[in-house]
């Protein structure tokens, strides 16, 4: 192994050279009667043959709307069977699926539809506090007076067709069920003629991703990007057609639609969806009822499942493997999942939307300590390096920015050459913005985000390191560490802490726990006990919101002292 922080992934398996549509045909032919799609809340149970048939019917129906290869079709919906069908149907028809976050509201939806020029929108009616139909009536008042497929809207000039999932209540739209049966022999012939013309390097998916500032960026991914990443991620779990994967993570994100749907597609495994959105009880019920062998989730999901009052009532012994990813995976949470949930072969995966998403994954044969304390080794057919602020590769084990390169790197941000060039350099390296180390054996550990690193009195503090230590406290369920401005040290350490139900903990007790265990400058000066954390729908912690809240609180306290 090299003494520098560079690794490349070798593999006996070649990359797949198919489009998603071609892979669906292969899977349906190989395992026609195996279960493919189970959606608990809808009572849907489809075999691979049935799923392929319904996807073809929907693709033919989409062609009747005048959609052409390369047109963008947005989907704004929580998890359901229609989402999966739309994913496969757009791929069959050469259309680009645009994932809209189900939590988006009017301004964000307006931006997304306009930024990529969506010609059609598939929408749910409502979910939790989101009244999708009502928001569309507000954004697109022209819908009320137009025939389906003939929309001419001032706010979304490229949009022509709206397709409503569920009860048909939206004037000017098609019902999803109607589009499913619109296609005839002519459209199916066109699909057959189109299939060999589609190339695996064609764009197939746009996912919006953003940091704490700036408008969302549309990461543009190809068949080759996401089909292979789903394939190789599932290989990393030793998934087979006998597996049943419980997918409580959202489909609009790579975790659901790539690692979940396409991972199952390439291996003939069953996709099992426990509900429209995450509910820990529904996950436990689904795993037990369906005898799921694999489970996905972000750390907060596993924490909620294991902390559920009814946890002990469910037989989870069918579980074997799965993935914990989406945000840094606390070592203690990983250990508990392996022990309490029978997830002896659970893996950690690391990546980002722009890389389809997985770049690193822990191996099933790796020592337990490696599996719980790192994100594993580089994925097959990919490269990674760690660089300093001058762009030079650092020695093995030295922190720096992680960069990745290979088949998984996106085409770029849609219609945004400037930000694409900022992310992908001339040599094809994707700059992740994550601080990491790669040791002499090739194991990668994520230290934190570059922008999250705290510099206290000239000492670099990586919040992830402090969090990992605090997770070992028996009363702490979840914790987030970040920096806040300080007049003396430049920055000080702040911890937001969630304690176990029924437990009590004071800031002084927490600091005593840290004393003589971690360096004095890493001990949190500011401690706040909270019931919940601000986070995205995918379970990613929004530290910038915590930081802003603490800055306001500290400023108010300072002002009171000054008075």
- pLDDT at residue number 1: 47
Question: Of the CATH numbers 3.30.300.30, 3.40.50.10860, 3.40.50.970, 2.60.40.420, which one belongs to the domain with range 454-562?
Answer: 3.30.300.30
User: pTM score, two decimals?
Assistant: 0.88
* Encoded tokens for 27: 């899977």
- pLDDT at residue number 164: 98
Domain regions of the chain by residue span: 6-15+217-450, 45-199, 454-562
Name the average pLDDT for the chain. Answer: 95
Distance CA 20, CA 356 (A): 14
Whether the pLDDT of residue 214 is over 70: the answer is no
- pLDDT at residue number 321: 98
List of residues 6+ apart from 432 with CB closer than 8 A? 352, 355, 401, 402, 403, 404
Region 293-317: mean pLDDT is 95
Q: Tens digits of per-residue pLDDT, 152-181?
A: 999 999 999 999 999 999 999 999 999 999
DSSP string, 100-125: E-TT--HHHHHHHHHHTTEEEEEE-S
Whether the pLDDT of residue 426 is over 60: the answer is yes
Region 304-313: mean pLDDT is 96
Whether the pLDDT of residue 496 is over 90: the answer is yes
Q: Identical fold at 6-15+217-450 and 45-199?
A: yes
Return the higher-pLDDT residue of 105 and 220: 220
Whether the pLDDT of residue 328 is over 50: the answer is yes
Q: By percentage, how much of the chain surpasses pLDDT 70?
A: 99
Is the four-CA dihedral 58, 77, 142, 154 of positive or negative sign?
negative
Q: Tens digits of per-residue pLDDT, 338-378?
A: 999 999 999 999 999 999 999 999 999 898 889 888 999 99
Whether the pLDDT of residue 559 is over 90: the answer is no
- pLDDT at residue number 411: 98
- pLDDT at residue number 362: 97
Whether the pLDDT of residue 386 is over 80: the answer is yes
Region 304-317: mean pLDDT is 97
In this predicted structure, which of 51-60, 439-448, 458-467, 494-503 has the lowest mean pLDDT? 458-467
In this predicted structure, which of 241-250, 254-263, 273-282, 321-330 has the lowest mean pLDDT? 321-330
CA distances from 59 to 85, 180, 199, 425, 534 (A): 9, 8, 17, 37, 39
- pLDDT at residue number 211: 54
> If one looks up domain 45-199 in CATH, what number appears?
3.40.50.980
Q: Tens digits of per-residue pLDDT, 63-87?
A: 999 999 999 999 999 999 999 999 9
Question: How many beta carbons lie within 10 A of that of residue 485, not counting itself?
Answer: 13
SS3 content of the chain, % helix, strand, coil (to 5): 35, 25, 40
Q: Which CATH class is domain 6-15+217-450?
A: alpha beta
Distance CA 429, CA 391 (A): 11
Residue whose entry in the numeric block shows the structure tokens 């002499």: 440
């Amino acid at each position: 192994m090299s003494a520098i922080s560079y690794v490349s992934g070798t593999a006996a398996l070649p990359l797949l050279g198919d489009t998603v549509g071609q892979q669906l045909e292969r899977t349906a032919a190989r395992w026609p009667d195996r279960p493919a799609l189970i959606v608990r809340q809808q009572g849907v149970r489809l075999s691979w043959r049935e799923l392929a048939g319904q996807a073809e019917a929907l693709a033919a129906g989409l062609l009747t709307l005048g959609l052409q290869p390369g047109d963008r079709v947005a989907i704004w919906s929580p998890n359901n069977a229609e989402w999966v069908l739309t994913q496969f149907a757009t791929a069959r028809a050469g259309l680009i699926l645009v994932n809209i976050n189900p939590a988006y509201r009017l301004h964000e939806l307006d931006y997304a539809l306009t930024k990529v020029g969506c010609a059609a929108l598939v929408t749910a009616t409502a979910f939790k506090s989101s009244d999708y139909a009502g928001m569309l009536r507000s954004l697109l008042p022209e819908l009320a007076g137009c025939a389906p497929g003939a929309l001419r809207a001032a706010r979304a000039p490229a949009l022509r067709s709206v397709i409503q999932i569920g009860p048909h209540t939206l004037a000017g739209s098609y019902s999803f069920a109607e589009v499913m049966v619109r296609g005839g022999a002519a459209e199916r012939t066109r699909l057959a003629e189109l299939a060999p013309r589609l190339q695996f390097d064609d764009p197939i998916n746009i996912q919006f991703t953003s940091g704490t500032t700036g408008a969302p960026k549309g990461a543009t991914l190809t068949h080759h990007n996401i089909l292979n990443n789903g394939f190789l991620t599932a290989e990393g779990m030793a998934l087979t057609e006998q597996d049943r994967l419980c997918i409580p993570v959202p489909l609009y994100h790579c975790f659901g639609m790539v690692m979940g749907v396409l991972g199952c597609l390439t291996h003939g495994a069953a996709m099992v969806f426990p509900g429209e959105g995450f509910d820990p009880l529904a996950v436990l019920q689904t795993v037990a009822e369906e005898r799921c062998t694999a489970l996905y989730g972000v750390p907060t999901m596993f924490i909620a499942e294991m902390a559920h009052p009814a946890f002990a009532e469910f037989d989870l012994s069918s579980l074997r493997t799965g993935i914990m990813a989406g945000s840094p995976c606390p070592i203690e949470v990983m250990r508990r999942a392996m022990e309490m949930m029978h997830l002896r072969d659970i893996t950690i995966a690391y990546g980002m939307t722009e890389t389809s998403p997985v770049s690193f994954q822990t191996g099933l044969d790796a020592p337990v300590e490696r599996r719980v304390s790192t994100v594993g080794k580089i994925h097959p057919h990919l490269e990674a390096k760690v660089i300093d602020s001058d762009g030079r590769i650092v020695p093995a084990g030295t922190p720096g920015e992680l960069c990745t390169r290979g088949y998984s790197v996106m085409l770029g941000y849609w219609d945004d050459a400037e930000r694409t060039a900022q992310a992908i350099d001339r040599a094809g390296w994707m700059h992740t913005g994550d601080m990491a180390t790669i040791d002499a054996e090739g194991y990668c550990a994520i230290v934190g985000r570059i922008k999250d690193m705290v510099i206290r009195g000239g000492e670099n503090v990586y919040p992830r390191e402090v969090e990992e230590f605090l997770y070992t406290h028996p009363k702490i369920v979840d914790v987030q560490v970040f920096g806040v401005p300080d007049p003396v040290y430049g920055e000080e350490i702040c911890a937001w802490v969630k304690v176990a139900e029924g437990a009590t903990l004071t800031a002084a007790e927490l600091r005593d726990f840290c004393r003589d265990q971690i360096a004095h400058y890493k001990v949190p000066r500011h401690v706040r006990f909270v019931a919940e954390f601000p986070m995205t729908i995918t379970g990613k912690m929004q530290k910038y919101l915590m930081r802003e809240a603490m800055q306001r609180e500290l400023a108010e306290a300072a002002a009171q002292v000054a008075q």
